[in-house]
Structure formats: C-alpha cells, structure tokens
Structure 1
Amino acid sequence: MKNILLICGSGASSGFMAAAIRKAAKKAGIEVSVKASSESQLDDRIDTTDILLIGPHLSYMVDDLKKEVGDRSIKIAVIPQAIYGSLNGPKALELIQQMEG
C-alpha cells in the first residue's frame, strides 16, 4: 500500500482532496493511504510517506520541499489547480498512478 501525503497551507483544503482520492481509490479497488496535513507537519510524517502531493497554491515551495525530502525515495508533485479546485478524486488518483508508473 502506498502512503500518500497531501499538504496545503493549513491542512483544511487538502483534507477534502484526500477524502476525494480515498473515495476514488475505493471505487477503483486500489489500496492507498491518503493523509492530509499542513506543510509545517511534514517533518513528522516524512518517513512514512511514499508520495507527496502539494496543493497548487504551494507550488512555490517545491524546491524547498525537495531539499527537505533529500535522498528519500519520495515522489513529489503539485496537484494541478483544475483537479484541486474541483476536488476531482479520480483525476488526482490518475496523477498518483502516473507517478508510480
């Protein structure tokens, strides 16, 4: 099972996105763990994360987050605004699957 962490500024909007991804994964029969968090909690969760998804409003932080991840084998992507803004769980799940392949 892949452990996915979504981060946004406060953790609120990513909570809705995480729920949409969990729902889409369940419907597709895909087993994932999707947690939402604020970017300030990344240190506490980084060692149990396989994929780090970033809210589009935090795209300016990608380089800093890559440095924080360091040499861990964590894949990082910014969720496109069109997916994040509409809470499109199936499209976000597609993004995750593309990252894995």
Structure 2
Amino acid sequence: MSEKTIMLCCAAGMSTSMLVKRMQDAANEKGIDAKIFACPAAEVDEKLKQENVNSILLGPQVRYLLDNIKKKVEGKPIKVDVIDMQAYGMMNGAKVLEQGLKLID
C-alpha cells in the first residue's frame, strides 16, 4: 500500500502541529505509511502544487473554507472534510487519523 498524505489546514498552523505529531504517532503504531502535515489556510494552493495530497482536513476554526477548498480540488482525487470538533479539542490523533484515512479509502 502506498503512502497516504493528509494535509491539515488551519488558521496559523500552531495548534494543528501538535495534532499532526499525535496523528503520526498513531499511524506509526498501526503500521500505516502516512505523511501528515499542517499548513495555514493561506498556503493551501502552494502545498497542493508541491505535495501529492490524498485528503485535506480543516481545523474547526477554518470550517468556513470548506466549500472554497472543495472547489480548489474539484476534479482531483482529493477529499476534504472538517476535523471532528471533539477529536480536535481532545487532540485525539488516532481519531483524526481515522477520519483522514476514511476520506481516502
């Protein structure tokens, strides 16, 4: 199975960096080959050019960008969703990883 790339999109990239680490730890524990990274909403276009992204998860604070980002990836095999607010608040890396992987499969 090839590497899965999950991009977390947030306002500035600070709170999600802790979540990225927890998601990466959960992926490693499960033996899942995943590349997970966070980027500020302002850098989404640039990251989509640089990375082979499979799914994009938006932090609850930027949920208003959902339709905008879905339009950016229209016609591409990239799914977009808003991170479950409870999982985000609890920094539950395993649950958010699962959400990102479900979008891909």
Q: TM-score, length-normalised on structure 1?
A: 0.93
Does the residue aligned with 1:29 lie in a helix, a strand or coil? Answer: coil
- Kept in 1, the 8 Å contact 2:78–2:104? The answer is no
- The match for 2:93 among 81, 84, 89 is 89
Paired AA for residue 46 in structure 1: L
**When the two structures are superposed, what TM-score results if normalisation uses the length of structure 2?**
0.90
Give aligned pairs, total.
101
Identity %, equivalent residues: 31
Between structures 1 and 2, the one with greater helix share: 1
2:64 corresponds to which of 60, 66, 71: 60
CA distance in 1, matches of 2:94, 2:87: 9
CA RMSD of aligned residues (A): 1.1
Where does structure 1 differ by over 2 angstroms across 4 or more consecutive aligned residues? Answer: none
Quote the Cα distance in structure 2 between the aligned partners of 1:100 and 1:50. 6
Select which of 69, 72, 80 maps to 1:76.
80
Shift of 1:78: 0.6
Report the counterpart of residue 45 of structure 1 in structure 2. 47
Residue 60 of structure 1: how far off its partner (Å): 1.2
Where does the alignment leave 5 or more consecutive residues of structure 2 unmatched? none
In structure 1, the gaps of 5 or more residues are none
Question: 1:73, CA displacement in angstroms?
Answer: 1.2
> What's the CA shift for 1:30?
0.6
Spell out, residue by residue over 1:57-94, the C-alpha distance to the aligned partner (whole angstroms, 9 max, x if none): 11111011111222211111110110111110111122
